[in-house]
Structure 1
């Protein structure tokens, strides 16, 4: 059974809402035979990444960059997973209060180095997530999980 790994850093109520929406989308009844595994960024390991078939990443934008927790995740898994995970699908959601561009650019750069394939545009939310933002997160989770069904 294909496995979707959701790696997230969720230090705020806004990010918790976004995380729950992505999980809900990834685990909706329409998604069949995809196992969804959730790991906080500081707990996710190279083994988690190697055992997964696709990735959904969540982070706050801190001072124009991804969270230190997600950067630590990438530092930990980059070389052990470099060759073995090429071509795997990924997507990203980001919450910020002053801008999300730097965080998106940083994650996309690292994912590009890993040769992961972006399967959806990032969901970027500024301030308190609204209904449309939460729906976009749900769609993101469902989209990434659906890519693994085929």
Structure 2
């Protein structure tokens, strides 16, 4: 959130997956998704969001740029792989490789997460994404 709002040129909404709806995707010009790794998979809440919104926005959204960050107790690759596969179905395009934060969250993880938000916001402002 800090990184995305730091540039000041984009409007940002921060929503829990259970609060978000298809209308939020239709509003967005880009999206940052975050999830914990649960048993090598994305969170149930984020999966539920995808299940609730896919058909509602199918063919209505332009390919949205997105960033993905994962808090992983293990290696995070399974959660990243499954989430990216789902997002390809939405015709979303990644702005970078997923940020996988392994173990306890550190200051470096937070710095990388801010940079991911800044990258998306700046890219949207400049028309790159």
Indicate whether the TM-score tops 0.5. Answer: yes
- Deviation digits for residues 80-108 of structure 1 (CA, Å, limit 9, x no counterpart): 11212232100100001122111101110
Runs of 4+ aligned structure 1 residues displaced above 6 Å come to: none
Contact 1:58–1:94 (8 Å) recurs in 2: yes
2:5 to 22, 27, 44: 27
Output the TM-score relative to the length of structure 2. Answer: 0.93
Match of 1:54 in 2: 30
Match of 2:116 in 1: 140
Number of positions where the alignment pairs a residue of Structure 1 with one of Structure 2? 126
Match of 2:63 in 1: 87
User: Any unmatched runs of 5+ in structure 2?
Assistant: none
Compute the RMSD of aligned alpha carbons: 1.0
Separation of aligned partners in 1, 2:19 and 2:47: 12
Answer 1 or 2: which has greater strand percent. Answer: 1
**Partner SS, residue 129 of structure 1:** coil
User: Any unmatched runs of 5+ in structure 1?
Assistant: 1-22
Output the TM-score relative to the length of structure 1. Answer: 0.81
Match of 2:97 in 1: 121
